[in-house]
Amino acid sequence: MTRAPAIRTRGVVKDFGAGGTRVRALHGIDVDVMPGELTYLVGESGSGKTTLISIIAGILYPSEGTVNVFGTEIYDLRENDLVRFRLANIGFIFQQYNLIPTLTAAENAAVPLVAAGMKRGPAVEQAAETLARLNIGDLAGRLPRQLSGGQQQRVAIARALVHQPRLVVCDEPTAALDASSGRRVMDLLRQVSVGDDRAVIIVTHDNRIFDLADRILTIEDGRIVSDASGAAHAEAALQD
């Protein structure tokens, strides 16, 4: 029996501006991501990577095309329903950490749980457990200004994973991390991706982690130009 894709985009176009100032960032993107896959999206700055994952994650509306996430055409949903769907099913790791400065690390990581209706105490406790899995459990009570950039990045990752979303979308999750911490984070994201109702998509320039991907999609000028296995892509990078 053929499995349905976890994510399917068809004809996704994104324009910014209008008239003579219009810029087309994406040119009819068709992508299937299968359940259980850890998929990377690579390409030069300005190629459309972040635009594409923002559309897949339900954050940025496409100008044209459809996005299906685990059987739901997300842009057919009303705005409030899309917000609820995103909250229940999608975790987004932003390149900018976007932590709330007045909340502790555990409170920041607990935000999706509280937004979904969980009481603050149990939510913070669950968030602290997620921080511990990222090896920063001892920092749960610190404010963002008391954390290094790499520590803040791991808090942001914990926030994206705490509610056990079916789809995790990441923008440069290892950019602020040393090699050891980056591998630890990627090992956790690989664990998250395993399963018939899970998928992880990662934008990255970090060739230290290319070997961990199941697939690596390369985007140039808003178009997917290659689709290779992670092992093949890592070997090609070494040869270059």
Q: Is 238's pLDDT higher than 80? A: no
Task: Give residue-wise pLDDT tens across range 12-68.
Answer: 999 999 888 999 999 999 999 999 899 999 999 899 999 999 999 999 999 999 999
What is the average pLDDT score of the chain?
A: 90
Residues 65-82 have a mean pLDDT of 96
pLDDT at res. 230: 57
Q: Are 131 and 140 in contact (CB under 8 A)?
A: yes
Total-model pTM: 0.86
Class of domain 7-97+167-239: alpha beta
Domain ranges of the chain: 7-97+167-239, 101-165
Q: What is the pLDDT at residue 226?
A: 93
> Do you know the residue count of the chain?
240
Task: Compare 119 and 238 and report the one with higher pLDDT.
Answer: 119
Residues 198, 36: contact at Cβ < 8 Å?
Answer: yes
Q: Is the pLDDT of residue 3 over 60?
A: yes
